[in-house]
Structure 1
Amino acid sequence: MFHLSNNLAATSISTHVFGYRDDIRDNYVEPPAIAPTETELTKPVNINQNTLPNPTATTNVQSIKEPDAKKSNTTHYSPFYPEQLPSTPPKTPGGSFLLSSAQASADPTSPAEIDHSDVTRPHCELKLTHFKLERTLGTGSFGRVHLVQSKINNRFYALKVLKKAEIVQLKQVEHTNNERAILTKVQHPFIVNFWGSFQDSLNLYMVLDYVPGGELFSLLRKSKKFTNDVARFYAGEVLLAIAYLHSKDIIYRDLKPENVLLDAHGHVKITDFGFAKLVPDITWTLCGTPDYLAPEIIQTKGYSKAADYWAFGVLVYEMLAGYPPYYDDNQFKLYEKILTTAPKYPSSIDATARDLLKHLLTTDLTHRYGNLKNGYRDITDHKWFASLDFNLLLQRKIRPPHIPHLKGEGDTSNFDKYNEEIYPYGLQQDDPYRDQFPEF
């Protein structure tokens, strides 16, 4: 298995009401969101989070022709291997990758200026000295994600640290700047909250909400697979976040269980925007996680929002089956399967879910749900989602199927443990790359 471990015993998902577990009161009460430099609640951003976005559809991308199986071996793929290419922390079993610029010529689309007018955030000047460094939450090619505690308000946050020299060496400056720009643009109940950024001579720092429930991947690994009701809940919240991003012409491009966190109440928070991009029309960049890649990305054709809906289909399939629809140890064979074969559905996936997946995992963009005239509403209106009220879901009024057991705000029991090392954060020395990250 590429994602899941077969030697883990099946574990049932607890369904206790928030604040309780097995009739025992939890010690944890989730505090309201406060900026790291504030001691009192700040005014909320001026954005309506409780309404569904208008449907968006990609109409300017031509449908993909079915590949000729006889010619699939001669398709010109560039060799690339996730372990040898950069990913943003935390590095996950899914193996996100971004094709290096030497392998993929410059993206024909130039990034548009991000408009921040629709999101107003409190002015928050952050410094490394504002935080007490706690344990590591995740690691990646560029650095680490740490749990940190604000010395000003004692609240806990996640600090994403990226090494500037490695970003420049791997020619990922534009994507790193894109990540920060997009995080400043978005605000949604199911997307991790961004508080600000700063830099020193060696590193870039981004401060995000600490989401204590851990990865959806970990829950899925323990459960092996989800029931329809459990998968439908998580799929619904993820879908609303993706639809929101698309309403702002943002493609996420790295949807997978490892990038879906669970908050203290059990609701999802999408994280890691290292591959997200503002794309009003189409883009050509080859990036993502191999078993979640849409066919049009593999074929290096221009693609747009529809690629996220293919990945959404893979996510739903994996939650219901316990494994992704396509997998092969050989990367080229994996891509050939994605391009030329229809998924095989185990008996655990019922006819209704299978029907939805067939409308998502299709190479024909003119038939893929999410990419048609009604946009994401073709998915929300599907009979598999009939029992889910998306308006209540958006307002977080539907009880999650699993609520993490937390003993306090800084509880890290839902995250894997990492070897802790001493990092030279905050050193003063030559800084040749500062001008390449002007917004940090």
Structure 2
Amino acid sequence: MDVDLPTEPVVPLQVRRQTGSYRLSDFIIHRTLGTGSFGRVHLVRSKHNLRFYAIKVLSKEKIVRMRQVSHTRNEQQMLMAVQHTFIINLWGSFQDSANLYMVMDFVPGGELFTLLRRSNRFPDPVAKFYAAEVALALNYMHSLDIIYRDLKPENILLNADGHIKIADFGFAKHCNTNAWTLCGTPDYLAPEIIRNERYNKSVDWYALGVLIFEMLSGLPPFHEPDASHVVLYEKICAGPAAIRWPPFNALAQDLILKFLEHDPTKRYGNLKHGAGDVFAHPWFREVDWDKLRKREITAPYLPKIASAGDASAFEKYPEDNVAATYGQPVDDLYGDMFPDFDYAGV
């Protein structure tokens, strides 16, 4: 098959991108953008260039207690290795005695998940636009031997111009052969992950099939809202025969089925032509891949943003004065476990 693959600037994983040197006192913390098991993401403004950023603050004690040291270090290392228009930028990282800090893009449009829930489902051209941008990002990551492993609408952010930024690399892994760790979001897990088999980068293409289905229908294909994960995993392992198909575009359904192929050796994105099969699929026929990569195609939805620091697209969280605790001197029991996070003081 002759297909012109989108050209991507490749950064070898061992060559890390240039990041800045930061400390907490460089920023004014405005509000919380999100919370998680290990800490929070804050909207901050630089005192120096006055730009807005998002800072992820992670408790070292919680990371160690929940055995997430390798995932946390992986996230930083993966973000230092990638530089792509549809992937969030890591500008720098540092630590103090209690916390890790990662300075990243502030992406003001919020999560694709929020837009999808508000819309209920996307029209076929809208789902195609976001799927195509995700496909470009996945192809770039795979060219660096990175498996992303956590594709879902919550991890796809919308920039001010409506184009995507993939975030949250906590499950990403540099791997040029196979992996076997059980991780990811249940609805998006490929059957080989559930069966505890070795797997490769094709699990990301499987997840893209799930994402396309969810964007077109409003829910993932095997979704079980009130059942245990056991029932969900049984349906995933049963395959497409367990799916109740809404009236999709026939070409979209064909591509979804090729992504949800049970046998990874027969799955689209993992065949002889790799991602070339994905880009050449008839559902994507009208996509100009080079223009899309350059963000020269107008996005289907433009976030309503009043100003540079407008965070109204994000849910409000109680602040609990947590920011006042950052930088306080405590016994540092875990600093040597995160050697790539600079000690920059406060």
1:331 paired residue number: 229
**Aligned equivalents of 2:238 and 2:214: distance in 1?**
20
1:100 paired residue number: none
How far 1:345 moved relative to its partner?
A: 4.7
Task: Say if 2:56 is the partner of 1:160.
Answer: yes
Q: How does 1:183-262 map to 2 (within 5 A)?
A: 183-262=79-158
2:344 paired residue number: none
SS at match of 2:94: strand
1:395 paired residue number: 294
1:58 paired residue number: none
SS at match of 1:208: strand
Structure 1 length-normalised TM = 0.73
How far 1:355 moved relative to its partner?
A: 0.7
1:139 paired residue number: 35
Give the total of aligned pairs: 330
SS at match of 2:31: strand
1:378 paired residue number: 277
Task: Say if 2:328 is the partner of 1:432.
Answer: no
**Aligned equivalents of 1:115 and 1:380: distance in 2?**
24
> Runs (4+) of structure 1 moved beyond 6 Å?
none
Q: How does 1:24-423 map to 2 (within 5 A)?
A: 51-52=7-8, 115-117=13-15, 119-121=16-18, 124-328=20-224, 329-342=227-240, 343-423=242-322
How far 1:429 moved relative to its partner?
A: 1.9
Deviations 1:225-274 (A, max 9, x none): 01110000000001100110000000000000000000000000000000
Contact kept, 8 Å, 2:17 with 2:80, in 1: the verdict is: no
Contact kept, 8 Å, 2:239 with 2:260, in 1: the verdict is: no
Contact kept, 8 Å, 1:136 with 1:420, in 2: the verdict is: yes
Deviations 1:284-317 (A, max 9, x none): 1100000000001001111110110110100000
How far 1:428 moved relative to its partner?
A: 1.1
Deviations 1:167-190 (A, max 9, x none): 111111111111111110000000
SS at match of 2:127: helix
**Aligned equivalents of 1:341 and 1:235: distance in 2?**
21
Structure 2 length-normalised TM = 0.93
**Aligned equivalents of 1:383 and 1:191: distance in 2?**
26
Structure 1 gaps of 5+ residues are: 1-49, 55-113
Tell me the C-alpha RMSD between the 2 structures.
1.4
Contact kept, 8 Å, 2:188 with 2:207, in 1: the verdict is: yes
Contact kept, 8 Å, 2:39 with 2:59, in 1: the verdict is: yes
How far 1:419 moved relative to its partner?
A: 1.1
The percentage of aligned residue pairs carrying the same residue is 54
**Aligned equivalents of 2:152 and 2:106: distance in 1?**
19
Quick check: which has more Rg, 1 or 2?
1
**Aligned equivalents of 1:367 and 1:53: distance in 2?**
28
SS at match of 2:61: helix
How far 1:376 moved relative to its partner?
A: 1.1
Q: Which has the higher helix share?
A: 2
**Aligned equivalents of 2:17 and 2:332: distance in 1?**
31
How far 1:116 moved relative to its partner?
A: 3.6
**Aligned equivalents of 1:363 and 1:142: distance in 2?**
34
**Aligned equivalents of 1:290 and 1:129: distance in 2?**
39
Structure 1 residues 307 and 268 mapped into 2: Cα distance closer, same or farther (>3 Å)? same
